[in-house]
Amino acid sequence: MKIRKLPPAANSHAFPLLIKSLLAYSLVLEPEREIVYKDLVRYNYYTFNERVRRLSNVLDGLGLKGGETVAVMDYDSHRYLECYFAIPMTGNVLHTINWRLSPAQILYTINHAEDTVLIVHEEFLPIIEKFAGEMPSVKHIMVTTDGPSTNTTYPNYESLLNAADTHYDFPDFDEDAVATTFYTTGTTGDPKGVYFSHRQLVLHTLNLAATFGFVDSASVRCRSNDVYMPLTPMFHVHAWGFPYLATMFSMKQVYIGKLSPLMVADLMKREKPTFSHCVPTILQVVLHCPEAKAIDLSGWKVMIGGSALTKGLAKLALERGVDVNVGFGMSETCPVVAVSYMRATDADGDLEAQLTARTRSGVPTIFTDLQVWNEAGMPVAADDKETGEVVVRSPWLTQGYVKEPEKGAALWKNGYLHTGDVATIDANHSLKISDRIKDVIKSGGEWISSINLESLIALHPGVAEVAVVGLPHPKWGERPHALVVLHAEARVEQDDLKDHIRPFIDQGQLSKWAMPEEFVFVAAIPKTSVGKIDKKRIRSEWPQTIGQKI
Amino acid sequence: MKIRKLPPAANSHAFPLLIKSLLAYSLVLEPEREIVYKDLVRYNYYTFNERVRRLSNVLDGLGLKGGETVAVMDYDSHRYLECYFAIPMTGNVLHTINWRLSPAQILYTINHAEDTVLIVHEEFLPIIEKFAGEMPSVKHIMVTTDGPSTNTTYPNYESLLNAADTHYDFPDFDEDAVATTFYTTGTTGDPKGVYFSHRQLVLHTLNLAATFGFVDSASVRCRSNDVYMPLTPMFHVHAWGFPYLATMFSMKQVYIGKLSPLMVADLMKREKPTFSHCVPTILQVVLHCPEAKAIDLSGWKVMIGGSALTKGLAKLALERGVDVNVGFGMSETCPVVAVSYMRATDADGDLEAQLTARTRSGVPTIFTDLQVWNEAGMPVAADDKETGEVVVRSPWLTQGYVKEPEKGAALWKNGYLHTGDVATIDANHSLKISDRIKDVIKSGGEWISSINLESLIALHPGVAEVAVVGLPHPKWGERPHALVVLHAEARVEQDDLKDHIRPFIDQGQLSKWAMPEEFVFVAAIPKTSVGKIDKKRIRSEWPQTIGQKI
């Protein structure tokens, strides 16, 4: 097909999509608004911009010429946000280190990403210092602290900024330049690096603005007057991209440092955030922590992602006035590719209708060609019954894995990124993730969704948290086993939970094979480094440790 | 500077920014919503999509292979909207013909754009038929009608669609492909063609979504639940880009055909639009037309552009409950590069504060590097006093003029598009256009803003409309002269208006040179083809015809 291309312009007018445009806009609407870090730091967007320029001069002063990787290993903070901008805007690549990984994995990612500079919180220095001699690419280390530091070995981030020039002209360059990278832990093998370009992060930010702003949904929207407090760590998919959105529109932002229920409660009280996002576990912990019980949470909008929002947790949230719904994505998708869309009629429904609407996995966002494919690679019927794998195309998906083309080839097949999530989809394009492909339990010829089973178990009032995994069974192939954390005051026995589940089987909501083989009560459920239930570990450790009841 | 580019991907994953993605999303959120054309046509987004596919097959059936120009000369309609998508999505270029131009100018644009196909409303056929033999590029003409047609010469749009296949796979291609073109009439010479690519229209649409959706302003936002009715003609800068936005988010849309106050009133009553945009004159006419006087307009959000919104008109609108504010742009800028931003405190102000806030020219939209430059090419002080020319960079500006590089070179200078508008800017980035450079009146060594003077004259309760131009004066260089249209019932003499203006001079709001030399009362003020006051014509015709009082 022929097309007509733009003729060369009479003047230089190219306008690449670069992160610097997001920062530039932060000075337009409400630059007097504040970025807050715990009870320690509070400054406006003029200061923020100046500090980003100072940091850029610091990076240049280290001899970085662009195209190098600068890693950050810090708690969520204003400093981290400065790095979100200065590192890519100087043409370098921001590597957000997941400090929840094991030291060996952290070392692996530093070397695999070929980090030149490390910006490290002093609490993590002991880990880094043990790596001495094992990080050939690292030329500079600087240290962040929340106050006076005992460290004298490495230059201090704050001192370097103070000494730096406040002027910096951020250059234009190709919008396909890599801006960020980080590592995701799969089910097997070493962490894999995903990476995103300036163009991708800019388009993802516009996606969030349109999806949360222009789309008029009856729940959890986010607009420029909201007060934003991320509860997803900043090392994890750029805190789902919202810090870029919040900064662009000069929203008030609140950063929590090391996440704790106490700090959440304290910041809720003092800074009154109105929009947050987190994995279900975090919301669970916040809703149950004694410190938050005394606080009025009504009007707090929370988008849940990372794992399924159970009806039980959604109910608990709604009872506290928390407007909760769901976004869908993964590290490879930047991440947001679907978000709950509640029509006014959904919002008018009774509690059960509300819970059903709010716990679905979302409707595709703009520019997102999201499909559910059966094993033959054909779209499933939009009947909310036939299951298949979620596949997706959009402008902001990782193009592969860093230096591992063969793994990228497994991710991208037939032109679509394969998410590994099993779902149904209904006639309104609303997705319902039923499981990870590898977590589906195949028992007696039936496929049982571990997530569906968890959601129903979680409806029992005594259950605080639950994980269901399939364990090998000589006769049935696999059988479901449930790990349960009870509320402190709850008195619940295995038979109570079986009685709770049986009606769902009788009503046909669960297959007859779905009754768990056992309910094991534990003090805590193993989690991955980003707070998801670690089913791989549960399966592998079950016979030894997990099977030990509390 | 070095950057690191994305490595080639393991799979085909490129995702160009194409208009087809906007259309695809129209089937996601609320595809049952309707697109309405007068009281004649009403269908949902499934039908709309099917008709776009049919039209695409019709275009292919004509032998178009992409890269050709298809012109539309129709009133605002569902058909026009179909052309907005099918023509660029088949790789061709949509030429929106301004039917308010003179026949000679229309012929000029058809030939200059090298149109291959004309889609013409039967009311315009007589004009086109007179061009027989003078349009060498035109190979096909099809005719649109609102009902049974007497035309038997040319195929009928509706019949062609009915006979066409409903299936079409829209291809991917380069996002820099030209999508649309149209002609703008400058102050001198032939109309000039501007042109926009798929990428530009997509980014402009996202700009509107973020600016009207995510930005939380106290006035005139637009969100997906609004009912959209454009009152800016679709041939004019794609009705300011909003039809693309409205379609993408499956908003209910109302198209008016040939604009008339009666039809506006009728559609307001029957379809209850909540968001419109237009030039001031149209709002003026609607507010004064007897048919609309009986209708409750409260809650109607209207964005004004094209010319300055006077405080008088804004007051009139607010009194009727119409939420009015301002967008800024021009044909060359796609068009929107600034929009009113009202803080809650602005909205809480008294009427005068409201009028001041609502009649400013707006705050730059995202990705818009908008500056006001003095004659030395330096930014003016952000003091709302120093005036200069508005210059702009953004991703959606025309790259030049079709086949006229020398005119493009005058438009783009020093890396910025020069708008020809004179403005001040305040510390909040809020722009106040004071005039077109060529309309500024230079009198006795002072520069007088014709727009400022018009705005103050319009505050007189007897004045319906006013135009001020500078005419040559032997002693003072130029002197301001005012053309005034009075309300039907008003009894106003020249001296009444001088008495009305004098206090503004005494208070220092106007220079002492600003008192018009004369106020001439006329029945109507000459307008350009897009409804702006035609100052060029007023100046040239003043001595002969305009000077004749009514």
- Asked whether A415 and B12 are in contact (CB, 8 A), the reply is yes
- Of A431, A457, A481, the residue that ends a domain is A431
Which candidate, A222, A244, A205, places its Cα nearest to that of B215? A222
The partner residues of A362 in beta bridges, in order of sequence, read A431
Same structural domain for residues B359 and B376?
A: yes
In a domain, A41, yes or no: yes
Residues A300 and A205 both lie in one domain: yes
**Domain for residue B150, yes or no?**
yes
> Lowest-confidence range among A263-267, A524-528, B45-49, B500-504?
A524-528
In the block, tokens 């440790």 appear at A545
- Residue span of the structural domain in which A506 resides: 439-547
Verify that A461 and A373 share a domain, yes or no.
no
Q: Please name the residues between 519 and 548 in chain A that touch chain B, using a CB distance below 8 Å.
A: none
Q: Rounded distance, CA B404 to CA B193, Å?
A: 9
CATH of residue A529: 3.30.300.30
Within a domain: A1: no
B5 has which bridge partners?
A177
Whether residue A550 has pLDDT greater than 50: no
The label of the residue with tokens 């939420």 reads B323
Whether residues B413 and B519 share a domain: the answer is no
The domain boundary, picked from B371, B404, B431, lies at B431
Q: Is residue B309 part of a domain?
A: yes
Which of A25, A214, A364 is the closest to B366 by Cβ?
Answer: A25
Number of helices (H), then strands (E), belonging to chain A: the values are 19, 25
Q: Which of residues 30-59 of A touch B (CB under 8 A)?
A: 30
Backbone CA torsion sign across B426, B429, B433, B438: positive
Provide the token pair at A33.
């608004």
C-alpha–C-alpha distance, residues B519 and B525, integer Å: 13
8 Å CB contact between A10 and B192: no
Quick one: A46 and A126 in the same domain? Answer: yes
Q: How many helices (H) and strands (E) does chain B have?
A: 19, 25
Q: What pLDDT, on a 0 to 100 scale, did the predictor assign at position B485?
A: 93
Nearest chain A CA: its distance from B363 CA (Å): 8
Provide φ and ψ at A220, rounded to 5°.
30, 70
Q: Does A356 touch chain B (CB under 8 A)?
A: no
Q: Estimate the crossing angle of helix A261-271 against helix A280-288, to 10 degrees.
A: 80
Nearest to A359 by CA among A448, A458, A231: A458
Residue A7 belongs to some domain of the structure: no
pLDDT of residue A189: 75
Residue of A5, A6, A207, A332 to mutate for B, most B C-beta atoms under 10 A? A6
Residue A11 to residue B174, Cβ atoms within 8 A: no
Which are the contacts of A413, defined by CB distance < 8 A and separation ≥ 6? B11
What pLDDT was estimated at residue B190? 87
**Residues sharing a CB contact under 8 Å with residue B55, sequence separation 6 or more, in sequence order:** B82, B83, B86, B161, B164
Please work out, in degrees rounded to the nearest 5, the angle formed at the alpha carbon of residue A537 by the alpha carbons of A533 and A542.
Answer: 110
Amino acid letter at B148? P
What crossing angle do the helices spanning B280-288 and B311-319 adopt, rounded to 10°? 40
- Residues of A with Cβ-Cβ distance to B224 under 8 angstroms: 214-216
Q: Check if the beta carbon of residue A422 is closer than 8 Å to that of residue A449.
A: yes
Going by the DSSP 8-state scheme, the letter that residue B176 receives in this structure is T
Chain A contact set for B194 (CB, 8 A): none
Report CB contact under 8 Å: A1, B171: yes
Residue A536 annotated as catalytic: no
Do the Cβ atoms of B367 and A212 come within 8 Å? no
A393: domain CATH number is 3.40.50.12780
- Mutation pick from A30, A70, A181, A214 vs chain B, by most beta carbons of B within 10 Å, is A214
Can you tell me the ipTM of this complex?
0.91
Q: What are phi and psi of B185, to 5 degrees?
A: -95, 120
The pLDDT-based confidence of A150 (bands split at 50, 70, 90) is confident
Tokens of B63: 């032998």
Nearest to A91 among B2, B197, B367 (CB): B2
> A162: burial class by Cβ within 10 Å (0-12, 13-18, 19+)?
exposed
Q: Has A549 been annotated as catalytic?
A: no
DSSP A9-73: PSS-------HHHHHHHTTTS-TTSEEEETTTEEEEHHHHHHHHHHHHHHHHHTT--SS-EEEEE
Closest-CA distance, A54 to chain B, in angstroms, reads 19
| Structure letter (DSSP) for residue A213 | I
- Please indicate whether, in this complex, the C-beta atoms of A209 and B210 are within 8 angstroms of each other: yes
Nearest to B237 by CA among B213, B274, B272, B208: B208
Percent of chain A scored above 90 by pLDDT?
75
Answer whether residue A8 is part of any domain: no
Residue A456 CA to residue B95 CA, distance in Å, equals 57
Spatial separation of the C-alpha atoms in residues B550 and B543, rounded to whole Å: 15
User: Rounded CA gap, A211 and A229, in Å?
Assistant: 18
Asked if pLDDT for residue A5 goes beyond 80, the answer is no
Residue B62's CB: how many other CB atoms inside 10 A?
16
DSSP secondary-structure letter at B67? S
B57 and B110 both lie in a single domain: yes
Is B365 in the same domain as B251?
yes
CB of A289 within 8 A of CB of A297? Answer: no
Chain centroid to Cα B34, Å, comes to 24
Greater model confidence, A288 or B333: B333
Write the residue in A24, A171, A209 that is nearest to B209 by C-beta.
Answer: A209
CA B7, distance to chain mean position in Å, is: 42
Cβ of B248 under 8 Å from any chain A Cβ?
Answer: yes
Tell me what pLDDT residue A12 has: 43
Half-sphere exposure of B543 (CA within 13 A, CB side): 4
Q: Say which of B13, B343, B364 has its CB closest to residue A399.
A: B13
Counted domains in chain B: 2
Strand partners, A167: none
Surface of A (74-113) touching B: CB under 8 A: 91, 93
| B400: nearest CB among A1, A10, A226 | A10
> Is B11 among the domain residues?
no
Q: What percent of chain A has pLDDT over 70?
A: 96
Catalytic-residue membership of A375: no
Asked whether residue B180 falls in the same domain as residue B34, the answer is yes
User: In this structure, are B173 and B255 located in the same domain?
Assistant: yes
Q: Are residues A516 and A471 in the same domain?
A: yes
Confidence tier at A186 by pLDDT (50, 70, 90): low
Identify whether residues A218 and A265 lie together within a single domain: yes
Q: Determine the average pLDDT of the residues in A467-473.
A: 92
**Partner A, chain B 450-509, Cβ-Cβ below 8 Å:** none
A445: exposed, middle or buried (Cβ count in 10 Å: 0-12, 13-18, 19+): exposed
Burial of B534 (0-12, 13-18, 19+ CB in 10 A): middle
- Measured CA to CA, the distance from residue B109 to residue B192 in angstroms comes to 8
Q: Is residue A372 part of a domain?
A: yes
Measured CA to CA, the distance from residue B354 to residue B351 in angstroms comes to 5
Looking at the structure, do residues B409 and B450 belong to the same domain, yes or no?
no
Query: Mean of the per-residue pLDDT values for chain A?
Result: 92
Distance between CA B481 and CA B469 in Å, rounded? 6
Q: Which amino acid, B165?
A: D
Q: Within 10 A of A372 (CB to CB), how many other CB atoms are there?
A: 25
Sign of CA dihedral A41, A43, A47, A52: positive
Q: Which of B400, B431, B462 is the last residue of a domain?
A: B431
Q: Give the separation between CA A287 and CA A458, rounded to whole angstroms.
A: 15
Instruction: Establish whether B192 is a catalytic residue.
Output: no
* Chain-centre distance for alpha carbon A480: 27
Q: Which residues of B447-472 are buried (b: 16+ CB within 10 A; e: fewer)?
A: ebbbbbbbbbbbbbeebbbbbbbbbe
Touching B: A residues 389-448, CB under 8 Å: 393-395, 397, 399-400, 405-406, 408-409, 411-413, 415, 417, 429
Tokens of residue A99, six digits: 């400090």
A165: left (phi over 0), alpha (psi -120 to 50) or beta: beta
What's the CA gap between A211 and B253, in Å, rounded? 20
Q: Closest Cα to residue B262, out of B239, B296, B238, B285?
A: B285
Strands (E) across B159-318 are located at 178-184, 192-197, 227-228, 252-255, 275-278, 301-304
Q: Which residue of B has its CA nearest to A14?
A: B395
Of A172, A147, A176, give the one whose Cα is nearest residue A159: A147
Ordered per-residue pLDDT tens for chain B, 550 residues? 677 765 544 334 689 999 999 999 999 999 999 999 999 999 999 999 999 999 999 999 999 999 999 999 999 999 999 999 999 999 999 999 999 999 999 999 999 999 999 999 999 999 999 999 999 999 999 999 998 888 889 999 999 999 999 999 999 999 999 999 999 986 567 899 999 999 999 999 999 999 999 999 988 999 999 999 999 999 999 999 999 999 999 999 999 999 999 999 999 999 999 999 999 989 998 998 888 888 999 999 999 998 889 898 999 999 999 999 999 999 999 999 999 999 888 888 899 999 999 999 999 999 999 999 998 999 999 999 999 999 999 999 999 999 998 888 889 999 999 999 999 999 999 999 988 888 889 888 778 888 889 988 998 999 999 999 999 998 888 999 999 999 988 999 999 999 999 999 998 888 888 999 999 999 999 888 877 888 888 988 876 666 454 4
Mean pLDDT within A252-260 = 96
Q: How many CB atoms lie within 10 A of CB A353?
A: 13
